[in-house]
Amino acid sequence: MELFGSHLFSYRLEGMAKRGSHGQIWRAKRSDGLAVAIKKRDAESGFPLDRFEKEALLFAELTRDGVVGLVALLDVAQWNGETVMVFPWYPQSLEELTGEPWERLRGLLASVARTLFQLHGMGVIHGDVTPGNVLLDSLGRQVWLADLGLAQRIGKAGWAGVEGGAIGITHGFGHPDRPEPGPHTDWHSLGVCAWKLATGTLPEAGCRFEAMREVALKHGTGSELAEDLAWWLCRSPSPKRILRWLEGKTRRLPRKGQRFWLMVTPLRLTLFSGIILLGCYWIARWFFGKN
């Protein structure tokens, strides 16, 4: 296969692994034997070359800043006169885990949520959070968020895409009521990821809580998970509440105005039980002491 390189390494291509909306992913071997993924702009997509090069610069900046959970940029090389990005090779994505037990999916989604918190704290919107853009190691235990092709700085107007909207956020993952880019876009997209992984389908257009709850139930999610997923997509809870729920710190996704009773944890349950027992003890002492 074709050989090319940079001032750091040379790379031998092994074949195309995936074609996305604006880029091609090729599997390759680095000169030291490391398996890597080469991301190349797909010229036929119409994705602007300067935008692709800006993606490489943003990846380099975030890799340097050590964003945990973001796939690291290893190198930038030239292939047939065009810039390509070099990343570690990961054999699968979160998409392959559709239908897995929720407790396993929940932990992996929590990792993605923590990465989004870091990106948003640095003023960056990912712009295209999908199961296919969350990569998994060979054991399926660790995840990395990939693809910054639609990323932009918070406050910048308009998606980075080609004229006419041929390239944009993956269909079905955009916020139905708030299409303007912002952190809320990424959190809604992560909710769609959770829905798709749990049900195997994309949510229907339009957000009707009861209807979505029934759809999730038909796909065997269980009543509590069906309600929580429908609430996430229809009511846009705060990111902090979403993260606490995904991390297992709350049994249910907290609703506004129901902070204490829905955020039941073993510690709170023990505390509440202790208060009741202590109250019963003092009532018994008062009653028997009086008699």
Identify the sign of the CA torsion 192, 197, 199, 202: positive
Per-residue tokens: 117: 């918190």
pLDDT digits (tens, 9 = 90+) for 238-264: 999 999 999 999 999 987 654 444 444
CA distances to 174, 185, 243 from 179, rounded to whole Å, are 7, 7, 22
The per-residue pLDDT for 139 is: 87
Transcribe 167-216 into DSSP letters.
S-SPTT-S-SS--S-SHHHHHHHHHHHHHHHHHSSPPPSS--HHHHHHHH
Single-letter amino acid, residue 278 = L
CB 99 within 8 A of CB 105: no
The average pLDDT across 183-208 equals 92
Tokens 């091609």 -> residue? 24
The per-residue pLDDT for 290 is: 58
CB 226 within 8 A of CB 213: yes
The average pLDDT across 85-102 equals 96
pLDDT digits (tens, 9 = 90+) for 131-165: 999 999 988 889 999 999 999 998 765 444 333 34
Cα separation, 109 vs 178, whole angstroms: 22
pLDDT digits (tens, 9 = 90+) for 32-73: 999 999 999 998 888 888 889 999 999 999 999 999 999 999
Residue 266 pLDDT level (bands cut at 50, 70, 90): low
pLDDT digits (tens, 9 = 90+) for 212-231: 889 899 888 899 999 999 99
Per-residue tokens: 243: 């993260």
Q: Which of 81-90, 183-192, 272-281 has the lowest mean pLDDT?
A: 272-281
Q: What is the mean pLDDT of the chain?
A: 87
